[in-house]
Amino acid sequence: MSQNYFSHLVCAECNKRHDGNFVQNVCTDFNCLGSLLAQYKLDESTVTKEDIKSRPFNLWRYREFLPVVNSENIVTLGEGGTPLLKADRLGKAFGFSELYIKDEGGNPTGSFKARGMSVAISKAKELGITKVAIPTAGNAGVAIAAYGAKAGIEVVVYMPIETPEQHKQECRYYGAKVIEIDGNIGDCGKLVTELCQKEGYFNISTLKEPYRLEGKKTMGYELAEQFNWELPDVILYPTGGGTGLIGFWKAFEELEILGWIGKKRPRLIAVQSDHCDGVVSAFHNKKISVEAIDRGFTVANGLRVPKPYADKLVLRILNDYKGTAIGISDKEILQALSEISRYEGLFPAPEGAALWAATKQLKAQNIISESDKVVLINTGNGYKYTDNIWG
């Protein structure tokens, strides 16, 4: 077993230290309840970039900087190691010289949620957890159902009734119990909290559990490596709960401590649905937290999150990284999806397509320039959204 540098957990809001060897959800300080961030003894690391390069291209190549202490607990379906595609034809047609798409659609279960769930379920196994519950807009539910099946952990999934049928059925195939709710993901979240309190399930909601974030941060490690440890100028991320955004920030801060990257940071851009744009509104109004906004269904189901749990951290990161936030309509999302498909031979999730619509708008506003090195994180595969895409 290789050395692992996982040390403890720290509250993102009050900095209180928490033990990483016990089952934890959020900061136990009653007035705080902040998200917990895994910490590593990075200054003790002897791992080199060359060590990493010699390993299989999946997320466990960064295992020393992931929280699973005993490698025997790793539950893997081959997640991570996704391609960074240069979107030359799309870029050229719309006046971008350095446009890239990191395509997460090839992950197990078809989305980047596989990264988070591989790490979260592995750590749950390490901590002896046997049953978990989650509110989900779709992809996270499918991913946790698959990793739960692989680990022999019982999974209960609460999903809005409007979620495309493909997501629900795939969960059932993996043996998860699917409970459909006539409401949004926030309503599902309340029922999960109740279930966990009453029946002892472990709550694995976005950022109410520390380790999904660790899986997502590997997108940042991978991207840095794929750009030969020189970060791009702009990264666009489809923001629901914001785990990916926080994951990029966490990855880059860790990589700088490791001495693998320098001080340069990309501008991080949060892209939301204009039906659910609480982060956009809070960011532009210079607020420190988000007020819930929900104007109903969007074709990008993963973006119907009225208020991210770690809203304050998301806003701090957008400010620190000189980013911005923008809301996109369903019509613009579907137009962008057809442009990406036609020019790049890639069928993205609507959440990923929203990023392309945002890129065009931000260029028109002179916030992104023609020569910027721009990366769109296509978080999922369009196959599971055909209900939404062609009705």
Binding range to Zn ion, per CB under 5 A, among 30-38, 41-49, 243-251, 373-381: 30-38
Instruction: Give, in order, the Cα–Cα distances in Å from 62 to each of 53, 123, 351.
Output: 10, 15, 27
Classify burial at 70, counting beta carbons within 10 Å of its beta carbon; exposed 0-12, middle 13-18, buried 19 or more: exposed
The DSSP annotation for 32-89 comes to T-PPEEEEE-GGG----HHHHHTS-SSGGGGGGGSS-SSGGG---SS-----EEE-HH
Instruction: Provide the residue type at 291 as one letter.
Output: E
Closest separation in Å from C-beta 21 to ligand PLP = 26
Decide if residue 218 touches ligand PLP (CB under 6 A). Answer: no
Closest separation in Å from C-beta 382 to ligand PLP = 10
Site string for Zn ion, 327-356 (x = CB under 5 A): ------------------------------
Among 243, 298, 324, 388, binds ligand PLP (CB under 6 A): 243
Decide if residue 363 touches Zn ion (CB under 5 A). Answer: no
Binding range to Zn ion, per CB under 5 A, among 8-16, 79-87, 172-180, 309-317: 8-16
Q: Tokens 């923001």 belong to which residue?
A: 239
Which pair of structure tokens corresponds to residue 201? 């399930």
Given a contact cutoff of 8 angstroms between Cβ atoms, the answer to whether 186 and 307 are in contact is: yes
Give the HSE-up count for residue 102: Cα atoms under 13 Å, Cβ half-sphere.
29
Which pair of structure tokens corresponds to residue 28? 């136990």
Binding range to Zn ion, per CB under 5 A, among 10-18, 189-197, 270-278, 372-380: 10-18
Nearer to ligand PLP by Cβ, of 196 and 376: the residue is 376
Decide if residue 111 touches ligand PLP (CB under 6 A). Answer: yes
Among 160, 220, 244, 278, binds ligand PLP (CB under 6 A): 244
Residue 350, helix vs strand vs coil: helix
Closest separation in Å from C-beta 322 to ligand PLP = 20
Which pair of structure tokens corresponds to residue 10? 């720290």
CA–CA gap between residue 129 and residue 368 (Å, rounded): 45
Decide if residue 388 touches ligand PLP (CB under 6 A). Answer: no
Strands 373-378, 234-238: pairing kind? parallel
Smallest CA-to-CA distance from 155 within 138, 174, 168 is with: 174
Decide if residue 349 touches ligand PLP (CB under 6 A). Answer: yes
Decide if residue 203 touches ligand PLP (CB under 6 A). Answer: no
Decide if residue 141 touches ligand PLP (CB under 6 A). Answer: no
Smallest CA-to-CA distance from 120 within 14, 214, 230, 259 is with: 214
Q: With CB under 6 A as the rule, give the number of residues binding ligand PLP.
A: 19
Binding range to ligand PLP, per CB under 6 A, among 24-32, 137-145, 149-157, 195-203: 137-145
Nearer to Zn ion by Cβ, of 14 and 23: the residue is 14
Which pair of structure tokens corresponds to residue 138? 């779709």
Nearer to ligand PLP by Cβ, of 68 and 236: the residue is 236
Instruction: Give, in order, the Cα–Cα distances in Å from 266 to each of 5, 252, 346, 358, 369.
Output: 26, 10, 25, 16, 13
Element (H, E) at 294: none
Looking at residue 201, the DSSP 8-state letter turns out to be P
Nearer to ligand PLP by Cβ, of 42 and 381: the residue is 381
Among 9, 10, 25, 34, binds Zn ion (CB under 5 A): 34
Decide if residue 337 touches ligand PLP (CB under 6 A). Answer: no
Closest separation in Å from C-beta 27 to Zn ion = 3
Decide if residue 27 touches Zn ion (CB under 5 A). Answer: yes
Among 238, 306, 327, 382, binds ligand PLP (CB under 6 A): 238
Given a contact cutoff of 8 angstroms between Cβ atoms, the answer to whether 109 and 79 are in contact is: no
Please give the residue whose beta carbon sits closest to ligand PLP in the complex: 302
Decide if residue 8 touches Zn ion (CB under 5 A). Answer: no
Decide if residue 11 touches Zn ion (CB under 5 A). Answer: yes
CA–CA gap between residue 336 and residue 358 (Å, rounded): 9
Which residues sit at the interface with ligand PLP, rule CB under 6 A?
A: 111, 137-140, 206, 238-244, 302, 305, 349, 351, 379-380
Which residues sit at the interface with Zn ion, rule CB under 5 A?
A: 11, 13-14, 16, 27, 29, 32, 34
